[in-house]
Copies of this chain bind each other. A is one copy, B any other.
Amino acid sequence: MIRIGTVGTNWITQQLVEALALSKRYELAAVYSRHEDTATAFAAKNHAQASYTDYRDMLQQADLDVVYLASPNSVHFEQAMQAIAHDISVIVEKPAFSNRQEMIAVQAALAQHPQVKFFEAARHVHTPNFHAIEKALAGLTTVQGAALTYMKYSSRYDDVLAGGTPNVFTPEFSGGALQDLGVYPIYLAIALFGEPTDVAYYPTLIATGADGKGLAVLRYGDFDVSVSFGKTSNSYAISEIYGLKETITLDSVGELTHVEQYDETGTVQNLSQPDLANPMLPEVVDFARVLTAPDDAQNQADYHRWMAWSLTANRVLYQLRVSANLRFPADDND
């Protein structure tokens, strides 16, 4: 069993902990929260072996194989660096780091700790429906880009409209729509099409100074991918990948709930795989494979592929912010 510690106690960590249990590959060795009440309540609810209010104590005392980071984006870097220094592997929620500088420092630390594995928790690109899209894409003779949309009103935007500054909507916590929702379609584009040659970002700014919604353009030479996302409005449109006369459609870029393909006559074929018990289950199973058998050739190949996606996503998110002159306090060391 893989001994894991968690950082963060909101819905995404709860979902992760349930996925860990379903996978039967992990034991929840420790949970961390800054607040003792929150830490003990989360530990009790999820039968964790221990709870901590000091992150370093957890790394030193809990005998962890891996730590899962679902803290505010701006904190990922420091927490990942400490875990790596303690020879503990890291699963970090997307987007992994605030900027290029941080990712480069993490890469250097990983090179010094070659047994440590690093995973970015881009759950959707580990799902069976992602693999169904990959397979359908490989069957197209011509690829003419895609239009990916992920836009869902966040109740936290009610707080912003009332004058508040919730973490996910503030530059101080490296927040905003690009980091929080844009990362899903951008990861998907990178996993399917590789690194774009050029990018542009058209954000719509909100009262906190962050982007509440936006339109990103990823250019690939032969085609473009348009990426629409936002937390201040609701979209009901499907996402699409364009062949010549064929079109692959997908529902909900974050969950990839439904995948279909239209042929040239407009006839539609359902490519969807069975529903998942938990949307994070495939990624934690994938990560467990690599953690328990790191020298297996397939696991090595997968690990390098995921790392390449993570590095590319980090570059692209950063280039998009730069193109729109959107800076975070975390960028001050650039």
| Chain A residues within 8 Å of B, Cβ to Cβ | 144-145, 147, 149, 151, 153, 200, 202, 204, 213, 215, 217, 219, 222-224, 226, 228, 230, 232-240, 242-247, 249, 262, 264, 266
Q: Is there contact, CB below 8 Å, between B233 and A244?
A: yes
Closest Cβ–Cβ distance, residue A254 to chain B (whole Å): 16
Residues of chain B within 8 A of A223, CB atoms compared: 204
Inter-subunit contact B247/A242 (CB<8 Å): no
Closest Cβ–Cβ distance, residue A145 to chain B (whole Å): 7
Given contacts A144-B233, A233-B244, are A226 and B226 in contact (CB under 8 A)?
A: yes
**Residues on the B chain within 8 Å of A145, using CB:** 204, 213
Report if A244-B226 is in contact (Cβ < 8 Å); known contacts: A149-B147, A200-B200.
no
Query: Most chain-B CB neighbours within 10 Å: which of A226, A230, A249?
Result: A226
A245 touches B153 (CB 8 A): yes
Chain B residues, CB < 8 A from A264? 153
Residues of chain B within 8 A of A228, CB atoms compared = 147, 226
B204 contacts A144, C-beta separation under 8 Å: yes
Contacts A213-B144, A215-B226 hold; do A266 and B204 have CB atoms under 8 A apart?
no
Is there contact, CB below 8 Å, between A222 and B249?
Answer: no
Bound form: Cα–Cα A63–B242 in Å: 50
- Complex contacts, A233 vs chain B, CB 8 Å: 144, 242-245, 247
A240 lies within 8 A of B245 (CB)? no
Chain B: minimal CB distance from A185 (Å):
13
